[in-house]
């Protein structure tokens, strides 16, 4: 294709056009999708360590029974902030970063449709996150009521309360703006011939994710605003003294919260769907059914929210409905797992680092899926609910699920971004350390949960001591292994073996037709897709 011809030397790859401004101004005022994508990804990586450090405070305290390091209230602040940072500050921005970098290159567009909005949606993030983090230093400490912010407990938050609400508003605003941008880009800027059903799966998963974001982030914003008015303006949405009901908040929160789960995992599905075909040297199996499966998951995500609340005392009919609808999600999710397996079947598989992380994703996400299926069965859920079994379940889908998806994507596209191959040996070491430690961390949590350990407790009965110690060892191992990831990235940015345009063995997608590193502006002239 034509745009491959202007590659020239890499030092002057954008000499046909204005280059990026130098210094800080480049990053503050940029409207370039690649710069913004980079900022999202770097920001997410920093927040991974901020949120990770908090989880290590948690695991250090839980290393053995008794209170050794922190007060219970600070422990609760850590569990709350860890979740908020990881969800809103780390994993969501990471995938928006991937979307920024890759979607225009995948659909043959020169940039995102709304570049100034793009700049704004990124720059809201650091300020919103700093606002949230600043609550750690406020009288009364950071929010300690869990990321679910259930009233009445959340109304006992100290000075941090309005800052919590405002930062959730800002983070939600950033997500909505990013989502609008992605939808407009995909709908309007596809290259000629790039019909919707020719788009790479990553674009499809993000298109659907973006709609989910627009649908549910305002619901969360509404919910937390009601908390704010309950606290300061005399309303009684959730206060029983005024005729309100705290359960209402749970319905609102999980109407946002369950689609949010898929907002986090669907882009990872997309990345995995890009990587598995490349390293199996075989096209994605059942492309169309994969698209329909994602759409089905997105639809079902709106009608399952109350499975987070089986113990609040719902009518029998309600429990039966939410049990059934929740289990239905297993069907499209199963279709995805089976299609990925079929993609590898009779392929020609090689195990570069992105593939290793994707294969681990397949196995470990499926384990999270199984425990999810178990949690859907209401009578059994009465035992599992709010125990460490749930903690194990959602960490299996979020860490070796969503996070491994993001890491796999980072390794997959790093050569395209930097123009250098990453250190394959170190990448593999990083993989094996991560894959082993993530299981040491989270698998024993199934056991203590089933044995009766509640979640969100700073100290526990001595019978849970052994598995908690193992889990903590795994957590520290996993945490420190990620420093290796940072080292591999820095090394790759600084130099290394030059990457070819294709990088991998005949991968599919327009991003592999442009030079490595991708020029500052790509597809000034739209490619033609057959």
Touching other proteins, residues 429-448 (CB under 8 A): 446-447
Binding of other proteins by 385 (CB under 8 A): yes
**Least distance (Å) from other proteins to the CB of residue 107?**
21
Q: Which stretch binds other proteins (CB under 8 A): 65-73, 90-98, 129-137, 189-197?
A: 65-73
Cα separation, 150 vs 224, whole angstroms: 10
- Whether the upstream peptide bond of residue 458 has omega within 30° of 0, thus cis, is no
Catalytic site residue from 260, 352, 381, 511: 260
260 tagged catalytic: yes
Interacting stretch for other proteins, rule CB under 8 A, among 84-92, 99-107, 307-315, 487-495?
Answer: 307-315
**Residues 1, 60, 131, 450: which binds other proteins (CB under 8 A)?**
450
* DSSP assignment of 112-159: -S-HHHHHHHHHHHHHHHHHHHHGGGSTT-S--STTTT-TTGGGG--T
Question: Under rule CB under 8 A, which residues in 152-191 are in contact with other proteins?
Answer: 152-153, 156
DSSP 421-454: ---HHHHHHHHHHHHHHHHHHHHHHHHHHHHTPB
521 is a catalytic site residue: no
Stretch in the footprint of other proteins (CB under 8 A) among 37-45, 60-68, 191-199, 267-275: 60-68
Name which of 74 and 476 has its Cβ closer to other proteins.
74
Is 144:157 a contact under the CB 8 Å cutoff? yes
Q: Is 491 a catalytic residue?
A: no
> 175 catalytic, yes or no?
yes
- The burial class, CB within 10 Å (0-12 / 13-18 / 19+), for 140 is middle
Separation CA 435–CA 357 (nearest Å)? 8
Of these, 126, 140, 162, 286, which contacts other proteins (CB under 8 A)? Answer: 286
Question: Which one, of 371, 97, 408, lies nearest residue 268 by Cα?
Answer: 408
Q: Are 464 and 451 in contact (CB under 8 A)?
A: yes
Residue 38 binds other proteins, judged by CB under 8 A: no
| Token pair belonging to 399 | 């860490």
**92-107 and 115-134 helices, crossing angle to 10°:** 170
Q: Contacts with other proteins in 133-152 (CB under 8 A)?
A: 144-146, 150, 152
Cα dihedral 343, 344, 346, 349 sign: positive
The answer to whether residue 289 is catalytic is: no
Given 59, 169, 308, 416, which residue is catalytic?
308
What binding mask, one character per residue, do residues 18-37 give for other proteins by CB under 8 A, x or -?
Answer: --------------------
Q: Is 385 a catalytic residue?
A: no
DSSP calls for 446-480: HHHHHHTPBSS-SS--GGGHHHHHHHHHHHHHHHH
Asked if 7 is part of the footprint of other proteins (rule: CB under 8 A), the reply reads no
Residue 330 lies near other proteins (rule: CB under 8 A): yes
* Contact call for residues 398 and 359 (beta carbons, < 8 A): no
Per CB under 8 A, 280 contacts other proteins: yes
Binding string to other proteins for residues 235 to 274, with x set by CB under 8 A, is what? -----x---xxxx---------------------------
Residue from 15, 17, 73, 159 touching other proteins (CB under 8 A): that is 73
Q: How far is the CB of 525 from other proteins (least distance, A)?
A: 30
Q: Active site includes 12?
A: no
Please tell me which residue in 34, 59, 82, 416 is annotated as part of the active site: 82
List residues with catalytic annotation: 82, 111, 147, 174-175, 258, 260, 262, 273, 307-308, 333, 336, 455
């Amino acid at each position: 294709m034509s745009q491959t011809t202007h590659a020239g030397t890499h030092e002057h790859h954008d000499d046909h056009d204005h280059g990026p401004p130098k210094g800080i101004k480049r990053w503050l005022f940029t409207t370039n999708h690649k710069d913004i994508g980079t900022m999202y990804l770097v920001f997410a990586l920093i927040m991974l360590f901020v949120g990770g450090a908090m989880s290590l405070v948690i695991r250090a305290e839980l290393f053995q029974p008794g209170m050794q390091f922190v007060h219970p209230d600070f422990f609760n602040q850590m569990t709350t902030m860890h979740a908020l940072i990881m969800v809103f500050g780390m994993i969501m921005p990471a995938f928006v970063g991937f979307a920024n970098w890759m979607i225009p290159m995948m659909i043959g567009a020169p940039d995102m449709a709304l570049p100034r909005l793009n700049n704004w949606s990124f720059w809201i993030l650091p300020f919103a996150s700093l606002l949230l983090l600043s609550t750690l230093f406020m009288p009364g400490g950071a929010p300690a009521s869990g990321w679910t912010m259930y009233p009445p407990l959340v109304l006992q938050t100290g000075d941090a309360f309005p800052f919590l609400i405002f930062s959730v508003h800002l983070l939600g605003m950033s997500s909505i703006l990013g989502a609008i941008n992605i939808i407009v880009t995909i709908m309007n800027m596809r290259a000629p011939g790039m019909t919707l059903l020719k788009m790479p799966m990553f674009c499809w998963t993000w298109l659907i994710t973006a709609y989910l974001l627009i649908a549910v982030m305002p619901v969360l914003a509404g919910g937390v605003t009601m908390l704010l008015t309950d606290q300061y303006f005399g309303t009684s949405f959730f206060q029983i003294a005024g005729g309100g009901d705290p359960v209402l908040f749970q319905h609102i929160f999980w109407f946002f919260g369950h689609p949010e789960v898929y907002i986090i995992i669907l882009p990872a599905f997309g990345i995995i769907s890009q990587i598995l075909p490349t390293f199996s040297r075989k096209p994605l199996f059942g492309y169309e059914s994969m698209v329909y499966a994602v759409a089905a998951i997105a639809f079902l995500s709106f009608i399952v929210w109350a499975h987070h609340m089986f113990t609040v005392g719902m009518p029998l009919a309600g429990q039966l409905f939410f049990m059934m609808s929740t289990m239905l999600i297993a069907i499209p999710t199963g279709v995805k797992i089976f299609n990925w397996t079929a993609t590898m079947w009779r392929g020609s598989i090689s195990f570069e680092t992105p593939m290793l992380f994707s294969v681990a994703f397949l196995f470990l996400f499926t384990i999270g899926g199984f425990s999810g299926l178990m949690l859907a069965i209401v009578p059994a859920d009465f035992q599992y609910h709010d125990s460490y079994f749930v903690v194990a379940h959602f960490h299996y889908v979020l860490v070796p699920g969503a996070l491994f998806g993001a890491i796999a994507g980072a390794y997959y596209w790093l050569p395209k971004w930097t123009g250098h191959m990453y250190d394959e040996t170190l990448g593999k070491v990083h993989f094996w350390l991560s894959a082993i430690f993530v299981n040491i961390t989270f698998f024993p949590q199934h056991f203590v949960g089933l044995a009766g350990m509640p979640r969100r407790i700073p100290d526990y009965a001595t019978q849970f001591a052994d598995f908690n110690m193992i889990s903590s060892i795994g957590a520290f191992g996993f945490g420190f292994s990620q420093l290796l990831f940072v080292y591999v990235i820095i090394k790759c940015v600084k130099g290394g073996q030059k990457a070819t345009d294709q990088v991998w063995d005949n991968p599919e997608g327009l991003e592999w037709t442009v030079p490595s590193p991708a020029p500052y502006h790509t597809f000034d002239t739209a490619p033609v897709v057959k």
